[in-house]
Amino acid sequence: MESSTDKGSNSTTSQSSRAKRARGIGIVTASDSQERLQGQLHVYDGDGKGKSQAALGVVLRTIGLGICEKRRTRVLLLRFLKGPGRSYDEDAAIEALQQGFPHLIDQVRTGRGDFFTAEEVTKFDLQEARRGWDIAKGAIASALYSVVVLDELNPVLDLDLLPVEDVVQTLKSRPAGMEIIITGRAAPKDLIQVADLHSEMRAHRRPENSEINISNLHMNGGIEVYTGEGKGKSTSALGKALQAIGKGISQDKSHRVLILQWLKGGTGYTEDAAIEALRESYPHLVDHLRSGRDAIVWRGQQKPIDYVEAERAWEIARAAITSGLYKTVILDELNPSVDLELLPVEPIVQTLLRKPAETEVVITGRCKNPPAYFDLASVHSEMVCHKHYAEQGVDLKRGVDY
């Protein structure tokens, strides 16, 4: 659900994209990008939600492209500080991955389920961190995996459970082509320095002085907004879709997902392979609809068809949300559609206020002017890009960046 305006492709395309971004909001495909061979080191940190979800979204994209191209794509999910005794948001998403794509996903959990501070570190915590890191080092050295996710490694380093120097050196010597994704709050400076991508998920709290009356809003269902210039918006939404499907599997009941996309009437977008993989593995649980034309829409250059297409998708979204048939509705690139004034804000606010309690709505996309429905969000994460390899002229990699 992210486009190459979030990433760039090569140095020339990146400069062109930055020039276009200065003009306003737009969606660009990545279909003309040349694939890079060197795997990159991603770091997702910050106090906002979406870090682990973003990592799982990248995993889904990578697997989806591997299926489309009929090549082997293996993934290791190594989860620190997530031992037995607790359930985590991404548990259901991982279950959906493992059931939908057997033999492609390996998962290892380490640590205890309790939260603890640096003053409460035990010998067991140190042993578990070392066990997880030994597995990670072996996996990286083996070159058997296309993607290695080191979930919550950042707080492990922040707690001094592992030597940062050893971790950094191992990551620097990773095999060519291997993508490594590190998540968690408080990434150390030494790690950020060697990272190719650093995206911060910044949490926004609901304003107390909001003009919208939210007293009747069913907050237990949830409204999540992912915005900002950084990477992680679309991948977080993909992770949310996986989570919804996984909940349906574990509860042995339908947990339908609708993915609606604005401004994406063409082909070659970041999430194509991921959505195709989801629909192939769970054909009765995932519905998908695009809208828009196969062109960039810039402020001041909107065409009548842009308004027609935006309204067409919104009418479907409104009916889907109010019907209660879907447990998760992803409104991809709704934010820039509103920012471009292709849709009015008030009908969106009213629909979200009346949504069924059990329906989750996930809204993505950057925007210059935050719309009023942001005030309804139980989760609002702004993706802030501190470092991106595209800015250094590094080409995008299929299945990871697009």
Per-residue model confidence (pLDDT) at position 251: 61
Structure confidence at residue 10 (pLDDT): 35
How far apart are the C-alpha atoms of 184 and 187, rounded to whole Å? 7
pLDDT band at 143; cut points 50, 70, 90? very high
**298 lies in a domain?**
yes
User: Is 178 within a domain?
Assistant: yes
Give the number of residues written for the chain: 402
The model carries a pTM of 0.83
Same domain, 244 and 327: yes
Domain extent, residue 354, equals 223-383
Residue 362 confidence (pLDDT) above 50: yes
pLDDT of residue 30: 29
Shared domain check, 228 and 147? no
Q: Quick one: 124 exposed, middle or buried, by C-beta within 10 A (0-12, 13-18, 19+)?
A: exposed
* Residue 237 to residue 57: CA distance in whole angstroms: 7
Distance CA 385, CA 172 (A): 21
Q: Any idea what the CATH number is for the domain that residue 241 is in? A: 3.40.50.300
Number of neighbours of residue 334 by Cβ within 10 angstroms = 29
pLDDT for position 252 = 54
CB-based contacts of 207, cutoff 8 Å, min separation 6? 375
Angle at 344 between CA 341 and CA 346, to 5 degrees: 145
Same domain, 295 and 337: yes
Band of residue 392 on the pLDDT scale cut at 50, 70, 90: low
Q: Which pLDDT score is estimated for 64?
A: 85
Q: Which amino acid is at 280?
A: E
How many other C-beta atoms lie within 10 A of the C-beta of residue 93?
27
Is 138 found in the same domain as 234? no
Q: Kindly state the percentage of the chain with pLDDT values over 90.
A: 59
Taking only the tens place, the pLDDT of each residue in 84-118 is: 878 888 898 999 999 999 889 999 999 998 889 99
The pLDDT, as a whole number, for residue 399 is 42
Which residue, 344, 341, 345, 343, is CA-closest to 300?
Answer: 341
Q: What 3-state DSSP class applies to 310?
A: helix
397 in any annotated domain: no
Q: Per-residue pLDDT tens for 158-211?
A: 999 999 999 999 999 999 889 999 999 999 999 999 999 999 999 998 766 666
In a 13 Å sphere around the CA of 292, the CA atoms on its Cβ side amount to 26
Are both 17 and 144 inside the same structural domain? yes
Q: Tokens 């969106």 sit at which residue?
A: 348
Nearest to 2 by CA among 348, 353, 275: 275
Strands 197-203 and 379-387: antiparallel
- Integer Cα distance of 355 and 322 in angstroms: 5
Q: How many Å apart are CA 46 and CA 284, to the nearest integer? A: 35
Q: Are 33 and 114 part of one and the same domain? A: yes
For residue 395, what pLDDT band results from cuts at 50, 70 and 90? low
Structural domain includes residue 363: yes
pLDDT band of residue 223 (cuts 50, 70, 90) is very high
Same domain, 244 and 190: no
Question: Given pLDDT bands bounded at 50, 70 and 90, which one contains residue 235?
Answer: confident
Neighbour count for residue 302 (Cβ, 10 Å): 14
DSSP string, 249-272: HHTTS---EEEEESS--SS--TTH
Percent of the chain with pLDDT over 70: 82
Cα–Cα distance measured from residue 319 to residue 293, given in angstroms and rounded to the nearest whole number: 22
CB of 83 closer than 8 Å to CB of 129: no
Same domain, 61 and 152: yes
Q: What is the pLDDT of residues 190-204, one digit of tens each?
A: 999 999 999 999 999
Same domain, 275 and 354: yes
Is residue 65, in this structure, part of any structural domain at all?
Answer: yes
Sign of CA dihedral 402, 272, 17, 387: negative
The answer on 231 and 188 residing in a single domain is: no
Residue 37 lies in a domain: yes
* Cα distance between residue 402 and residue 398, in whole Å: 5
Whether 50 is in a domain gets the answer: yes
User: Do 174 and 228 fall into the same domain?
Assistant: no
With respect to residue 340, please indicate whether it lies within any of the assigned structural domains.
yes
Average pLDDT score over residue span 365-374: 94
SS3 189: helix
* 152 or 279, which is more confident: 152
Work out how many domains the chain is built from and give that number.
2
Q: Could you tell me if 185 and 248 lie in one domain? A: no
> What strand order describes the sheet that includes 75-79?
105-109, 75-79, 147-151, 179-183, 41-45, 197-203, 379-387, 223-227, 360-364, 328-332, 257-261, 286-290
